[in-house]
Amino acid sequence: MSNLDSIAHKLVTGERLSFDDGVALFRHPDWIEVGELAHRERVRRHQDRAYFNRNMRIEVTNVCVASCLFCSFAKLKEGDPGAHTMRLEEAWRELEVRMDDPPSEIHIVNGLHPDLPFSYYEDLLRGFKRIKPDIVLKCFTAVEIHFFAELYRKTYEEVLVQLRAAGLDSLPGGGAEIFHPEVRTRIAHDKATAEQYLEVHDVAHRLGMKTNTTMLYGHIETFEHRVDHMIRIREQQDKSGGFQAFIPLAFHPDGNGMKNLPGPTGTDDLRTIAVSRLMLDNVDHIKAYWVSSTPKIAQIALRFGADDVDGTIVHETIYHAAGSTSPQGLTRDMLIRLIREAGFTPVERDTYYGVVEELARAALPEGALKVRERKANKHLEVIS
Amino acid sequence: MTSKLVTRALEQEGLSSILEARERGQVASDAETLEALGRADVLVLGAAADIARRRECSDEARIYVPSPPAQTTSLVVIDAREALRGTALLRKIATLRLQGPLGARIVVDWGAMGLEIGQIALSFGATDLAGPMASRRGLPMLDAEDQKKLVKRREIAAYVARAGFRAVFVQTDDPGQSLFVAPLASRAHVES
């Protein structure tokens, strides 16, 4: 039996994939076959649904004391060229100007600013809730929570309880990078370790919070490091169970300390999504983050194990600082079209994967229509 | 060797007979075949197109220098005129492979479609790539946006190798003349 046939057998019988299986999936020469396996898993869990949400990204400060090699966003201190910290009114204004078609979620990721008081973050959250009480605030990575704990001399639990009292609902998954110390000590030596990152999520899950988790791939890591990363997430999920989605993030090399590296290719993006789906048997959702991989690859990734393409975003700056050529935001209609063209049913979700609206799928795959019909936008017509 | 997984998927989607016909030197074009192609899952369609492509055109991917070749009956160029994107484009390329003449060349212009999509298309039945490439003799006069699209020879060779193919650089007006064949060593990380 070939490696892949034995892995397929394990999937059918519900046997958990091993470290060696994960590496074999990364090394298997036929990456489409790996995708086919992942697609079956994805369909078994989510049928033909593909999720998106109406969210908005805000980065309130890019001042950061950490010196991660892969980052093109951070500035060491206030006053450095390009350094920026929003006044609270400036941050709140980002939501106020969108209240005619408001997002359901605000996603905030920042640099590790050494001088802002803790009350800045509490006030930031309270202000957003004042403007829109039902907005879900998915803010501050585990790396930021760890930094707050050190800077303000609090425990993780104290930080999270106080931020929750101010309006924090969920944590984004950023900051995971690659957990293995052979890589982490080289690319992100002066911020939360893998153990600290996972402990923050552990505490958040115990407090009843749902969170996401990520992996930054395509730089100096090996396939073994990627699989090790996934297994650590799987083990944490066995313990605390609060991860909703895993998001593989493609490394972009422009303007950072690893600018001589080429970054991952399209087949690597799709294979990584597929292996994630197969290895992370206890994480419900695999997200193809369109900002990191481009909307076209994210669309194809829906056929390689992903079931979510993230959201409208509105204005992303971290990946764009690293040379991403993706648009800074997509409209709801664009996301719906992207999903329909791939042959899936678009489902607008809230932060917790509750269904906001399930839309009808397209009648036929886009490629099966004649050009004249496509031009007349007939592919956007729905059945039912 | 085709795995059981793929063999079963091809049978389920009704694509095995198309491959068998091509192996006998025939291109199936009856209504049943067209219906199977239109309905098939895009990944299975890709797997079938990849089998046909490797049988008929080997694992060589030509990189046309300095520009895409002219279209002929047995050579299709997917360039800026193509309106389809993403999965729809992959479906079209795979269908072209399975419905088109035996051994046809399908060239994707990465300047128009993106290098990642060009790379992925190689596993969905496309054979070749073309696009703006950086030259040792200096960069052509291009604006900043077009400069970003320039790709180095070793970069494109790595993209091709990572998709499981071997890059052979050929001159557009004389494709029989290899300019440079990427060393097999560049595939090592795919197979090791």
Strand residue runs (E) in chain A: 49-53, 55-58, 105-108, 136-139, 211-217, 243-250, 285-286, 308-311, 345-349, 355-358
- The overall average pLDDT reported for chain B is 85
Task: Map residue B176 onto helix, strand or coil.
Answer: strand
Residue in B closest to A23 by C-alpha: B192
Identity (one letter) of the amino acid at A88?
L
Distance, in Å, from the CA atom of A188 to the CA atom of A175, rounded to the nearest integer, reads: 9
Contacts of A294 (CB under 8 A, 6+ apart): A324, A325, A326, B114, B116
Residue A211 and residue A139 in contact, taking contact as beta carbons nearer than 8 Å: no
ipTM: 0.79
The answer to which of A40-54, B36-50, B96-110, B122-136 has the lowest mean pLDDT is B122-136
Per-residue model confidence (pLDDT) at position A320: 66
Q: Tell me how close the Cα of A39 comes to any Cα of chain B, in angstroms.
A: 9
Q: Closest-CA residue in chain A for B124?
A: A32
User: Helix or strand or coil: residue A290?
Assistant: helix
Among B87, B113, B152, the strongest candidate for a mutation testing the A interface, having the largest count of A CBs within 10 A, is B87
Query: Is the CB of residue B75 less than 8 Å from the CB of residue B97?
Result: no
What is the least distance, in Å, from the CA of B161 to any CA of chain A?
11
| Bridge partners, residue B64, by sequence | B130, B170
- Cβ-based neighbour number of residue B166 at 10 Å: 17
Q: Where are the alpha helices (DSSP H) in A47-171?
A: 88-96, 118-131, 142-151, 156-166
Distance from CA of A98 to the nearest CA of B (A): 30
Residues A366, B4: C-beta atoms closer than 8 Å: no
Question: Residue B139 pLDDT > 90, yes or no?
Answer: no
Contact B42 A27 (CB under 8 A): no
- For chain A, residues with pLDDT lower than 70 are 1-2, 315-320, 322-323, 325-326, 328, 363-384
> Which carries the bigger pLDDT value, residue B186 or residue B55?
B55
Q: Does B158 or A166 have the greater pLDDT score?
A: A166
The model carries a pTM of: 0.87
pLDDT at A363: 64
Q: Per the structure block, which two tokens stand in for A283?
A: 């994480």
Question: DSSP secondary-structure letter at B75?
Answer: E
| B1, B38, B86 ranked by CB distance to A300: nearest | B86
In whole angstroms, what is the distance from residue B145 CA to residue B151 CA?
Answer: 13
Q: Which two tokens stand for residue A359?
A: 């839309």
* Rounded mean pLDDT, B58-66: 92
Q: Which pLDDT belongs to residue A315?
A: 65
How far off is chain B from A343, nearest CA to CA, in Å?
9
- B contact test, residue of A10, A12, A36 with most B CBs within 10 A: A36
Interface contact flag, B164 A35, Cβ < 8 Å: no
Q: Count chain A–chain B contacts defined by CB atoms under 8 A.
A: 125
Per-residue model confidence (pLDDT) at position A317: 67
Place of tokens 């060797």: B1
DSSP label of B128: E
> Span B1-5, mean pLDDT?
78
Q: How many residues does chain B have?
A: 192
Is B88 within 8 Å of A337 (Cβ atoms)?
no
Neighbours of B47 (CB within 10 A): 30
Question: According to the model, what pLDDT value does residue A238 have?
Answer: 98
pLDDT digits (tens, 9 = 90+) for A107-160: 999 999 999 999 999 999 999 999 999 999 999 999 999 999 999 999 999 999
d(CA A34, CA A45): 17
**Residues B80-113 pLDDT 10s:** 888 888 899 999 999 999 999 999 999 999 989 9
Predicted local distance difference test score (pLDDT) of residue A106 = 96
C-alpha distances (whole Å) from A331 to each of A52, A103, B4 are 11, 11, 42
Farthest CA pair distance, chain B: 53
The answer to whether B153 and B133 are in contact (CB under 8 A) is yes
The predicted pLDDT at position A254 comes to 78
